[in-house]
Structure 1
Amino acid sequence: MFKFSDVPNLILESIRDPQEGATRVLSFAPPREALWLLLALVAVLSTLMSQVAFLLSGASADASMGTLMGTPVGMAALQALFIVGTVYLVYWVGRACGGQGSFEETLLLVVWLQVIFVAVQLAQLVLAIIVPFLTLLVLVASVGLFFYLLTYFVLVLHRFQSAGMVFAGIVISGFGTLFVLGLAMSILGIGPETLSTGGTF
């Protein structure tokens, strides 16, 4: 039986041993409706963390991300879209490569990955206050941690055997997705100036 008090220990376990952590998380099997609600909650929490980070740095979210995405609502929507996009990408690409994970399992592990990174964001904020000169190093480490956890979560999810092949698939899929998005934005006439002014197309 899952309890909220188990979250910190499960986060640490997932970081120390992502395969064991992913296996344990999959054993909970909450309903899909609860997972969508958790996804929305994680997007909001991540946005709050980002807003606090901007305040601590003295930068403006509006100046850093543009008018359209510089608002809390815009950032939360973007975060939610990123999570949903990751869910479908992990599910579709994994299944196309012979993976066995279900959509619900994919949603659960991707949302759990975001829960972990809300905790990482909190740790980054604390470190930014205590040892600000380590901020960049921590940021780089967190990017590495993201790909490390995602690789082993996908390995467990789809019952794959090679972590190296999974990582290669993630990198290729990521670049492919960025290329398609860039091409679509170019065709639709969406550029940085459009996003920064909040204009329509």
Structure 2
Amino acid sequence: MNWVEFGKQTILDPRAAGAQLVRMHLPRDAGWSLLALLAILNGILYWALLPAEFLTAPLDGPVALTLVVGVALLLSSATLTLAGRMLGGQGDFDTLLRVTIWLQVLRLVAQIGVSLLSLALPPLAALASFAVGVWGLYIVTCLVTEAHGFSSLLRGLAVIGLSFIAAVMFLAVLLTLVGVTPQGTI
């Protein structure tokens, strides 16, 4: 498979790309390895790009950020699966893991591109970041809709909304358990 062409298809025709992603076979070990690699790459990128004020203990290094990203990716796959099933979807965890991994690859490429653009043309980078965010939500909605076999994008959007609420609640509890609170560390 030509991944660059698949990336273009995902941007230009996300429903077709979603259907192809659902049919794609990815061995479970490869999925876990890709998830770990993406968590590491994102942890390093966040550590390099986030302001120092944000990086307080225990989230002050790339290892901690990698763990948070890894948990968030797993949580996304699980909540997208469960929320979709609650709404009558057919997607399983492996399918939603593939969707999450592919979305994360696209997001990582976009984030690097916007970061580089911000070095040369900050106002244009802000506009590009907004456009990527809006179109990215459409892409996520299309891929989740296809992963669950829904005919309506509204159902896919509802899955994303339910998944987001569940993930925020889980991460709030998790971060509190490791000592991160709104007032700072415990």
In the alignment, the residues of structure 1 paired with residue 95 and residue 11 of structure 2 have an alpha-carbon distance, to the nearest angstrom, of 19
In the alignment, the residues of structure 2 paired with residue 64 and residue 187 of structure 1 have an alpha-carbon distance, to the nearest angstrom, of 18
Is the Cα contact below 8 Å between 1:49 and 1:121 reproduced in 2? no
The answer to whether residue 156 in structure 2 is matched with residue 160 in structure 1 is no
Q: Greater shift after overlay, 144-153 or 92-101?
A: 144-153
Query: In 2 relative to 1, CA 25–98 (structure 1 residues): closer, same or farther, beyond 3 Å?
Result: same
Gaps of 5+ in 1: none
Query: In 2 relative to 1, CA 179–79 (structure 1 residues): closer, same or farther, beyond 3 Å?
Result: closer
Q: Greater shift after overlay, 124-133 or 88-97?
A: 124-133
The answer to whether residue 15 in structure 2 is matched with residue 19 in structure 1 is yes
Is the Cα contact below 8 Å between 2:80 and 2:96 reproduced in 1? yes
Report deviation, 1:10: 1.2
In the alignment, the residues of structure 2 paired with residue 180 and residue 38 of structure 1 have an alpha-carbon distance, to the nearest angstrom, of 23
Report deviation, 1:180: 6.0
Query: In 2 relative to 1, CA 72–186 (structure 1 residues): closer, same or farther, beyond 3 Å?
Result: closer
The answer to whether residue 121 in structure 2 is matched with residue 121 in structure 1 is no
Query: In 2 relative to 1, CA 130–114 (structure 1 residues): closer, same or farther, beyond 3 Å?
Result: same
Task: Tell me the equivalent position of 2:40.
Answer: 44
Identity percentage of aligned residues: 25
Q: Secondary structure at the match of 2:54?
A: helix
In the alignment, the residues of structure 1 paired with residue 174 and residue 57 of structure 2 have an alpha-carbon distance, to the nearest angstrom, of 21
Give TM-score scaled by structure 1 length.
Answer: 0.80
Task: Tell me the equivalent position of 1:67.
Answer: 57
In the alignment, the residues of structure 2 paired with residue 179 and residue 163 of structure 1 have an alpha-carbon distance, to the nearest angstrom, of 25
Q: Greater shift after overlay, 70-79 or 159-168?
A: 159-168
Query: In 2 relative to 1, CA 68–40 (structure 1 residues): closer, same or farther, beyond 3 Å?
Result: same
Task: Tell me the equivalent position of 1:131.
Answer: 121
Query: In 2 relative to 1, CA 172–108 (structure 1 residues): closer, same or farther, beyond 3 Å?
Result: closer
Within a 5 Å distance, the mapping from 1:50-199 to structure 2 comes to: 50-54=46-50, 59-60=51-52, 63-179=53-169, 182=172, 191-193=181-183, 196-197=184-185, 199=186
Q: Deviations over 1:73-119 (max 9, x none)?
A: 11111111111000000111111211111221111111111111111
In the alignment, the residues of structure 2 paired with residue 88 and residue 173 of structure 1 have an alpha-carbon distance, to the nearest angstrom, of 9
The answer to whether residue 25 in structure 2 is matched with residue 29 in structure 1 is yes
Query: In 2 relative to 1, CA 102–44 (structure 1 residues): closer, same or farther, beyond 3 Å?
Result: same
In the alignment, the residues of structure 1 paired with residue 171 and residue 115 of structure 2 have an alpha-carbon distance, to the nearest angstrom, of 31
Report deviation, 1:179: 4.6
Q: What is the count of residue pairs matched by the alignment?
A: 186
Is the Cα contact below 8 Å between 2:118 and 2:126 reproduced in 1? no
Computing the radius of gyration from Cα coordinates, the structure with the larger value is: 1
